[in-house]
Amino acid sequence: MTGVVLRCEQGDITCLQVDAIVNAANSALLGGGGVDGAIHRAAGPQLLDACRALHGCPVGEARLTPGFRLPARWVIHTVGPVWQGGQRGEAGLLAACYRHCLELAGNHRLTSLAFPCISTGVYGYPRQAAAAIAVHTVTICLPRAPSIRELVFCCHSPDELAIYQGLLAA
């Protein structure tokens, strides 16, 4: 991970000037609420057309589309798990989201990437546990995506930001 800037900030992921933003999508990839809805609104109707052509995405995997009207050139859509108490493979599926996003970013030689807090909204994943999985998975997988020079954890709330600040400082 030498030379990679890993940081967190609170803000609107649709406004970030990075090569790609990650969309915490549903398996249909056809838009929804939260981050997904915000990304679709900001990118414009072409994003929905591009997502329709992908015919969905299974939980734990990721797909790439252009960013259209977004400042980011690309959107990496990933489908996080719904929290069901932690005994149904949720941690492995959430880690797979981050791993597959980094694989796509590396395969497309992207240099900067921003993640939202995947699965912590309506999918109910506990924030602290989700953030720990995110930071751990990114830390171990970044060497497999050597083109990445900047990775941002974009947090919606001050509480999420504090969690990521603590994990990144450790």
Q: What is the side-by-side order of every strand in the sheet holding 5-10?
A: 5-10, 150-155, 112-115, 20-25, 74-79, 62-66
Q: Please pick, among 12, 19, 36, 49, the residue that the annotation labels catalytic.
A: 36
Sequence ranges of the domains in the chain: 5-169
Q: What is the pLDDT of residues 64-112, one digit of tens each?
A: 999 999 999 999 999 999 999 999 999 999 999 999 999 999 999 999 9
Q: Which helix (H) or strand (E) holds 105?
A: helix 90-107
For the whole prediction, is pTM greater than 0.95? yes
Q: How many CA atoms lie within 13 A of 94 on its CB side?
A: 29
SS3 at position 75: strand
| 86 φψ region: left (φ > 0), alpha (ψ -120 to 50), beta (else) | left
Architecture of domain 5-169: 3-Layer(aba) Sandwich (3.40)
Q: What is the pLDDT of residues 47-71, one digit of tens each?
A: 999 999 999 999 999 999 999 999 9
- Catalytic: 36? yes
